[in-house]
């Protein structure tokens, strides 16, 4: 069930799942199996020819994983979704139908360090390129687009600093130049931001983070709006030209708004194999049932902690967009009405070594390379998650040496503040 007329709180519980018709079980089972029995040879042939929907092999699709995809599509307002083994896998899978040797994307400079590394180095092995642009300078960004550009990529709430992207403005640029806008909505989730409603064409997610919410499983997803016209130009032959592996089938001509989703399953998952495990999908479905409840608490706590930090004389600045002092505050209120998330950074006046002492001194907060957990997390990006970046990239991404990143959990905010206060005392003397 994915009736778009239902509210968010209803969809996060019901979308993609209905009672089992045989047993009456209300929660979807974990379909922990590899393959599925065909009714007969003709049935199998129709499935392999993409003439009939059904299950073949869990690398391609699985009932538990498909239920999660339906729920994510409903929450994001998309036409379809594909789940993957990790958020990084979702990024490669998102680009796979669009790219080819010599093609490029325009990517925001404000991205998770691992994404910058993936785009700066790893995708070169496919013959792809990323050109990084400041999303605050849209004219300069648009000038970087050339005949080989195939997408624009940004994060809704950027990791690590909590910068909020002006998605409608970026979408307008993407529309003018005729390429899809891909938005990583991991840090915001659909509860705080619906990129598709703001003009994005594709959404990528690390389901590992807030969507599951408890630090137990790895996963990713791509949600397709179903609105981009792949046939408007000759830039996307994978979706518009005859596909040899399916006897000349043209995905966009055959599947219309679901072309990208079906291509990602029938070719992306088939050949790249970045499939999500059924148990991971099940645990993420459970996490999604309380997403809105948790996000409200995350946002309330983040606001309390950020406000306290901003007043502390040991702190140089705080980047949380929920604060009235933030340059992104008005944008956050306009585009992210449910809050500016739970991810932000703060800078210590005492410098790099004090940051190290601070991270080593916390007790309640967990020192982890993760975010979006029910527990509050702390990390020093310049020495960990963003360590591979150049000094220029560190500055552009907001991960300079005297900066610490927080992912605020759902504990009692007084306890989070007390732990930070005590650790700051040890860090700064």
Residues 6+ apart with CB under 8 A from 363: 419, 422, 423
Predicted pLDDT at 4:
66
Question: Nearest Cα to 295, choosing from 342, 259, 345?
Answer: 342
Q: Is 330 helix (H, G, I), strand (E, B) or coil?
A: helix
Residues 6+ apart with CB under 8 A from 260: 80, 97, 202, 224, 226, 228, 230, 239, 251
Q: What angle do CA 415, 419, 425 make, to 5 degrees?
A: 145
CATH architecture of 8-287: 3-Layer(aba) Sandwich (3.40)
Query: Residue for token digits 């550009």?
Result: 149
Domain map of the chain by residue range? 8-287, 291-428
Predicted pLDDT at 394:
67
Predicted pLDDT at 153:
98
Predicted pLDDT at 416:
98
Predicted pLDDT at 1:
46
Q: Is 206 helix (H, G, I), strand (E, B) or coil?
A: strand
β-bridge pairing 129-133 and 104-108: parallel
Reported pTM: 0.95
Sheet holding 104-108, edge to edge: 80-84, 220-224, 202-206, 181-184, 149-155, 104-108, 129-133
Residues 6+ apart with CB under 8 A from 135: 108, 109, 110, 141, 154, 165, 166, 170
Which parts of the chain sit beneath pLDDT 50? 1-2
Predicted pLDDT at 384:
73
Predicted pLDDT at 387:
65
Residues 6+ apart with CB under 8 A from 229: none
Residue 256's region, left for phi above 0, alpha for psi from -120 to 50, else beta, is: left
User: Domain 291-428: which topology?
Assistant: 3.90.1150
Query: Residue for token digits 């190290």?
Result: 356
Predicted pLDDT at 227:
98
């Amino acid at each position: 069930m994915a009736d778009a007329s239902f509210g968010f709180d209803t969809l996060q519980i019901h979308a993609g799942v209905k009672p089992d018709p045989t047993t009456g079980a209300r929660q979807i089972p974990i379909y922990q199996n590899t393959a599925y029995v065909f009714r007969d040879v003709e049935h199998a042939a129709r499935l392999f020819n993409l003439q009939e929907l059904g299950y073949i092999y869990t690398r391609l699709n699985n009932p538990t994983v498909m239920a999660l995809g339906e729920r994510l599509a409903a929450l994001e307002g998309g036409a379809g979704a594909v789940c993957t083994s990790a958020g990084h896998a979702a990024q490669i899978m998102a680009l796979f139908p669009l790219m080819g040797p010599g093609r490029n994307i325009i990517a925001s400079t404000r991205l998770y360090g691992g994404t910058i590394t993936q785009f700066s180095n790893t995708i070169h092995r496919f013959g792809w390129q990323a050109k990084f642009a400041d999303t605050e300078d849209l004219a300069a960004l648009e000038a970087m687009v050339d005949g080989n550009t195939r997408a624009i990529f940004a994060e809704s709430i950027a990791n690590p600093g909590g910068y909020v992207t002006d998605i409608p403005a970026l979408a307008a640029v993407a529309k003018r130049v005729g390429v899809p806008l891909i938005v990583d909505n991991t840090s915001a989730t659909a509860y705080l931001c619906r990129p598709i409603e703001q003009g994005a064409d594709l959404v990528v997610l690390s389901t590992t983070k807030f969507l599951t919410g408890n630090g137990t499983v790895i996963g990713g997803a791509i949600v397709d709006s179903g609105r981009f016209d792949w046939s408007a130009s000759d830039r996307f032959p994978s979706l518009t030209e005859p596909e040899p592996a399916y006897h000349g089938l043209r995905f966009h001509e055959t599947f219309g708004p679901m072309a990208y989703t079906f291509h990602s399953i029938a070719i992306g998952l088939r050949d790249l194999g970045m499939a999500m495990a059924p148990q991971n999908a099940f645990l993420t479905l459970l996490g999604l049932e309380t997403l809105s409840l948790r996000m409200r608490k995350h946002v309330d706590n983040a606001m309390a902690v950020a406000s306290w930090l901003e007043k502390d004389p040991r702190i140089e600045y705080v980047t949380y967009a929920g604060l009235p002092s933030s340059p992104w505050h008005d944008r956050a209120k306009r585009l992210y009405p449910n809050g500016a998330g739970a991810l932000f950074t703060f800078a210590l006046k005492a410098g790099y070594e004090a940051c190290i002492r601070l991270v080593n001194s916390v007790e309640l907060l967990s020192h982890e390379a993760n975010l979006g957990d029910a527990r509050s997390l702390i990390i020093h990006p310049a020495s960990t998650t963003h360590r591979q970046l150049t000094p220029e990239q560190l500055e552009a991404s907001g991960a300079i040496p005297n900066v610490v990143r927080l992912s605020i959990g759902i504990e009692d905010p007084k306890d989070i503040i007390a732990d930070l206060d005590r650790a700051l005392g040890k860090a700064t003397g």
